[in-house]
Structure 1
Amino acid sequence: MQTELTQISCTAFVGGKSITKGTLQHVVAFVKDSLDDKEFAQLLIFNDLTGKPIDIDFRGKTAEVLQRLSNHADHASAEESKQPTRRVGRPKLGVVSGEVTLLPRHWDWLKSQPGGASVTLRKLVDEARRTGKNESKARAAQEASYHFMTAMAGDFPQHEEALRALYAGNQDRFYQLIDDWAPDIRDHIKTLAENAFIKEET
């Protein structure tokens, strides 16, 4: 059974060149079978979701490396499954009971709403999730871009200015500043930053 860890999307770089991308399982197998010792010294594998580098133990043969990855993921999954699950509320309906602390005036207002406090709170949470979705996507894209840029482009010209443009939401300025960077690095940054400049729905 393939595990979640081995199936995360990632991209491998040797120096400033992107050499492969795909699932972690695919990337690890590819680089293990393709690179020589000199290239391995320059290898970095990045999580495409977070922009952070992934540490891999490449000792041994390809099958051994993949087995260690699978074992690590299975161990993490087993530890997660040991966590106690709460069964309060109405689990068959997907309802979980929790505790909310509010001032009396908040409770008075909630109780006066159609459907009562629980229905009103659920509506408020759903609305906040809907309206904040783009903001969350933009923040995640900014963070992923930041992590990758710090690792791969920290000594590139106008790196700091590009980061400021990224967090300021200045898309045109950001793309202008990174335009002359190494093509594979620049293009990967653009992919990571794709959602960094989306605007909140009105």
Structure 2
Amino acid sequence: MISSGQFTAFLGPRRLISGTLAEVALGIRKSAKPTGHQPILIFDDASGRSVDVDLRGSDEEVLARLPRPAMAAMPVELPESEPRGRGRPKLGVVAREVTLLPRHWDWLASQPGGASVALRKLVEEARRANGDRDRHRAARDAAYHFMSAMAGNFKGFEEASRALFAEDRRRFSELIAAWPDDIRDHIVQLAFSDRDDLEQA
């Protein structure tokens, strides 16, 4: 699935452009072209994974071929003429099966608003409580995916990977210090840009 956020293009070890997928695709067309054994690679900064973009044809043709954000992110609304099932589709609420023990159902039934309201509150509380940890894990995973693609053959890659997953930023920074500047800086940005106590590589 293609995200709708930030993307970055690299020509070998050199960062070319960052922006939306459309901005990156059109920016590549106006700048460098693949040369020799250094193709241009585009990465989704949210996942760190490379994406394929067909740059042939006119700007309009390139834009028309770009993947669209997943439709699942759009609000769900049924026409008034159609019978409605369970849930509240106008609000994006979807009915799914949940399997719980009897004591869980008893507790949910005793909560204000009933089981559905109680479950939604529990999920939102868990998202708030674990939000930072989930974001840090996603950032670390994105950095690792990008590292694997762009630095998998570099000296110290295995050790740097272990330091990344151990969240040993000082050791990590030392191990990647000699890597090409643009690759090193992008890894650090993916892994730690959302942290106040960022240690610069």
Return the TM-score normalized by structure 1. Answer: 0.77
Does the 8 A contact of 2:17 with 2:24 survive in 1?
yes
Q: Are residues 161 and 116 of structure 1, via their aligned partners in 2, closer, same or farther at CA, if it must alter by over 3 Å?
A: same
Q: What is the alpha-carbon distance in structure 1 between the residues aligned to residue 151 and residue 121 of structure 2?
A: 44
Aligned equivalent of 1:146, options 133, 136, 144: 144
Query: What's the CA shift for 1:109?
Result: 2.8
Bigger fraction of residues in helix: 1
Does the 8 A contact of 2:147 with 2:187 survive in 1?
yes
Q: Are residues 62 and 132 of structure 1, via their aligned partners in 2, closer, same or farther at CA, if it must alter by over 3 Å?
A: same
Counterpart residue number, 2:68: 73
Counterpart residue number, 1:26: 23
Gaps of 5+ in 1: none
Structure 1 window deviating more from structure 2 (32-41 vs 95-104): it is 32-41
The 5-angstrom pairing of residues 92-131 of structure 1 reads 95-131=93-129
What is the number of residues matched between the two proteins?
190
Q: Are residues 100 and 194 of structure 1, via their aligned partners in 2, closer, same or farther at CA, if it must alter by over 3 Å?
A: same
Gaps of 5+ in 2: 79-83
Q: What is the alpha-carbon distance in structure 2 between the residues aligned to residue 128 and residue 35 of structure 1?
A: 46
Aligned equivalent of 1:194, options 156, 174, 192: 192
Is 1:136 equivalent to 2:134 in the alignment?
yes
Is 1:47 equivalent to 2:41 in the alignment?
no
Query: What's the CA shift for 1:39?
Result: 6.6
Q: Are residues 16 and 56 of structure 1, via their aligned partners in 2, closer, same or farther at CA, if it must alter by over 3 Å?
A: same
Q: What is the alpha-carbon distance in structure 1 between the residues aligned to residue 196 and residue 99 of structure 2?
A: 34
2:153 partner letter: D
Q: What per-residue deviation string (whole Å, max 9, x for no partner) do you get for residues 20-70 of structure 1?
A: 11122122112112224527942111111111111111223444323332x
In percent, how many aligned pairs have the same letter? Answer: 50
Q: What is the alpha-carbon distance in structure 2 between the residues aligned to residue 122 and residue 66 of structure 1?
A: 38
Q: What is the alpha-carbon distance in structure 2 between the residues aligned to residue 197 and residue 131 of structure 1?
A: 17
Q: What is the alpha-carbon distance in structure 2 between the residues aligned to residue 61 and residue 163 of structure 1?
A: 40
The 5-angstrom pairing of residues 81-92 of structure 1 reads 87-91=85-89
Q: What is the alpha-carbon distance in structure 2 between the residues aligned to residue 196 and residue 184 of structure 1?
A: 19
Q: What is the alpha-carbon distance in structure 2 between the residues aligned to residue 131 and residue 6 of structure 1?
A: 24
